[in-house]
């Protein structure tokens, strides 16, 4: 009887137990993360425990009665500490899902966001209408998520992945190799589209677009991502404006530029795209109804 009482008390202690039950551990971890101001505490705890156990999150949820072995518990506790310190979950897990592709991420690159999955989807819609061999530039490629997903979708696609950050390019190279795409990708370190040889059917970009003055107010999680991936200069549009000015000379006749920007920025940028250079200029909304994506087809001959 005394033993039973002990067991219940231990179960209530969750994290402190030698071999706790997953349900008890998850519950305590979620409360703990929540108290420490971590958003989506329940989801974070679930992902961390599934990772520590080496199982899929949904498989873990299907059997929360399982006992967590000591090695998994140690790994889980380590993950919890990193999460409490404000590290993005994707950095702790070492990967981020991007439209079904497992993209390796760490502190060299921005964690790809859901909005960027939408950008990649819009880019694919445009490419689907073209047919034939495709040449695409992912400008500010970071982990390479956008370009690699497109290359994965279109077997005839040749990708040029450009980034000014050597660290980002090394991460992108690792991803291309892991996804079996290296043979179709050219990597180039550059800080300007003008430095890239060739002409493209499409330039797709998620440039850094946070205004410098807003950086200090970002969450610790976002601040642990590379500054070069965030900081878009005074109005947030420094890289985007230069890209828009340089892109037409790198596009094939009728080639397109599509880019992700922040709220209220896309409209400003569209107004900077002259009609004599760009036709079919338009903005696309994201799932939240924010006009976030700028799209333009170059008239060509530049
Ligand atoms: C917002 S991140 C996007 C990363 C990735 N494309 C994604 O969507 O997850 C911007 C990327 O642009 C790169 N970058 C910043 N300024 C640049 C520039 N002037 N030229 C090329 N790349 C740049 C950064 O290193 C970073 O990898």
At residue 93, φ and ψ (nearest 5 deg) are -70, -30
108, 119, 136, 140, best to mutate for ligand 1 pocket (most atoms within 8 Å of CB): 140
**Amino acid 270: pLDDT:** 96
**Amino acid 58: pLDDT:** 96
- Select 96-298's CATH number: 3.40.190.10, 3.40.50.150, 1.10.10.60, 3.40.50.620: 3.40.50.150
Whether the pLDDT of residue 172 is over 80: the answer is: yes
* Residue 239 CB–ligand 1 contact under 6 Å: yes
Q: Whose CA is nearest to atom 6 of ligand 1?
A: 141
Answer whether 198's CB lies under 8 Å from 247's CB.
no
**Amino acid 131: pLDDT:** 80
pTM of the model: 0.92
Contacts of 55 (CB under 8 A, 6+ apart): none
The percentage of the chain sitting over the pLDDT mark of 70, rounded to a whole number, equals 93
Q: Whose CA is nearest to atom 9 of ligand 1?
A: 112
* Residue 146 CB–ligand 1 contact under 6 Å: yes
At residue 203, φ and ψ (nearest 5 deg) are -110, 120
CA of 62 to the centre of ligand 1 (A): 39
* Residue 110 CB–ligand 1 contact under 6 Å: yes
Domain ranges within the chain, ordered by starting residue: 2-85, 96-298
**Amino acid 18: pLDDT:** 67
Span 186-237, pLDDT tens digits: 999 999 999 999 999 999 999 999 999 999 999 999 999 999 999 999 999 9
What is the DSSP annotation of 40-99?
A: THHHHHHHHHHHHHTS-HHHHHHTTTPBPPHHHHHHHHHHHHHHHTT--HHHHHTEEEET
91, 164, 237, best to mutate for ligand 1 pocket (most atoms within 8 Å of CB): 164
């Amino acid at each position: 009887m005394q033993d039973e009482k002990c067991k219940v008390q231990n179960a209530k202690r969750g994290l402190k137990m030698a071999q706790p039950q997953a349900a008890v551990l998850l519950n305590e971890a979620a409360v703990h993360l929540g108290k420490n101001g971590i958003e989506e505490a329940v989801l974070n705890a679930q992902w961390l425990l599934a990772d520590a156990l080496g199982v899929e999150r949904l498989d873990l949820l299907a059997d929360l009665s399982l006992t967590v072995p000591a090695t998994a518990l140690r790994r889980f506790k380590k993950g919890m500490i990193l999460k409490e310190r404000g590290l993005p979950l994707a950095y702790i897990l070492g990967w981020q899902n991007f439209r079904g592709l497992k993209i390796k991420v760490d502190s060299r690159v921005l964690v790809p966001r859901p909005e960027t999955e939408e950008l990649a989807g819009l880019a694919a819609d445009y490419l689907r209408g073209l047919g034939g061999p495709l040449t695409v530039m992912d400008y500010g490629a970071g982990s390479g998520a956008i370009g690699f997903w497109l290359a994965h979708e279109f077997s005839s696609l040749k990708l040029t992945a450009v980034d000014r950050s050597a660290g980002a390019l090394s991460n992108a190279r690792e991803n291309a190799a892991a996804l079996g795409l290296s043979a179709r990708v050219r990597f180039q370190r550059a800080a300007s589209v003008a430095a890239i040889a060739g002409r493209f059917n499409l330039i797709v970009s998620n440039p850094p677009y946070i205004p410098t003055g807003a950086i200090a107010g970002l969450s610790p999680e976002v601040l642990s991502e590379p500054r070069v991936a965030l900081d878009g200069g005074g109005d947030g549009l420094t890289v985007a404006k230069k890209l828009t000015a340089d892109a037409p000379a790198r596009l094939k006749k009728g080639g397109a530029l599509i880019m992700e920007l922040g709220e209220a920025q896309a409209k400003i940028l569209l107004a900077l795209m002259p009609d004599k250079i760009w036709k079919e200029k338009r903005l696309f909304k994201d799932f939240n109804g924010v006009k976030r994506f700028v799209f333009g087809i170059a008239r060509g001959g530049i």
